[in-house]
A and B are shown apart, each in its own frame.
Chain A
């Protein structure tokens, strides 16, 4: 079945460092891809999305490009802030299966001042 694999955490960076969190997927159809962020004690918030190959999602300085040839959707940010510390989930939605999300295992990011 469909699945999402993320790089393991935790990832610890200094403020203003570059961030890349790898995400690859397996899907039989043509999924939409998402990054969700979860701050401590809170729910999941949609960070960005891409619905077709070569689409680039971006929000709050984060970017991810839907790469069909490598089945990847890596999350990147050029300069992280302490406030970016959270758990990041890559997810896919197979649009032939009612829109439910399948999540990766999550990557914890800790940004130090």
Chain B
């Protein structure tokens, strides 16, 4: 079965550079979530989109922005990168705005290293 696809798998950037992470949800899933997982930490919710509109916002820095496109894929744009942004970034998708009957399905993540 098709899963959530994230690209790239690994990304190395220098401080103050920008990065763009992409997420392709499972077909017919209309909701996308972004999470950040620091080393040895639990995943922290950043932002979510439902039907191309932002549906919820978590601990996303102002330096980051995201959007969901007409084909439901999503991109997380990160500017003025800091060392502390080094983490595993997960995208998850589900069908419908509520998670009760459509649990989140996660991609394998993008590992961002800022040097």
Residues of A within 8 A of B (CB): 32, 34, 36, 42-46, 49, 51, 89, 93, 95, 97-106
Nearest B residue to A102, CB-CB: B45
A38 vs chain B, min Cβ distance (A): 9
| Chain B positions near chain A (C-beta within 8 angstroms) | 4, 31, 33, 41-45, 48, 50, 55-56, 58, 90, 92, 94, 96-109
Do A46 and B103 touch (CB < 8 A)? yes
B90 and A44 within 8 A (CB): yes
Instruction: Name the prevailing secondary structure of the B interface residues.
Output: loop
CB of B43 within 8 A of CB of A99, answer no
Tell me if B97 and A98 are in contact (CB < 8 A): yes
The minimal Cβ–Cβ distance linking B21 to chain A, given in whole angstroms, is 14
A-B contact pairs, 18 of them (CB 8 A): A34-B103, A36-B106, A43-B4, A43-B107, A44-B90, A51-B101, A93-B99, A93-B100, A97-B56, A98-B50, A99-B94, A99-B98, A100-B58, A100-B99, A101-B104, A102-B45, A103-B43, A106-B42
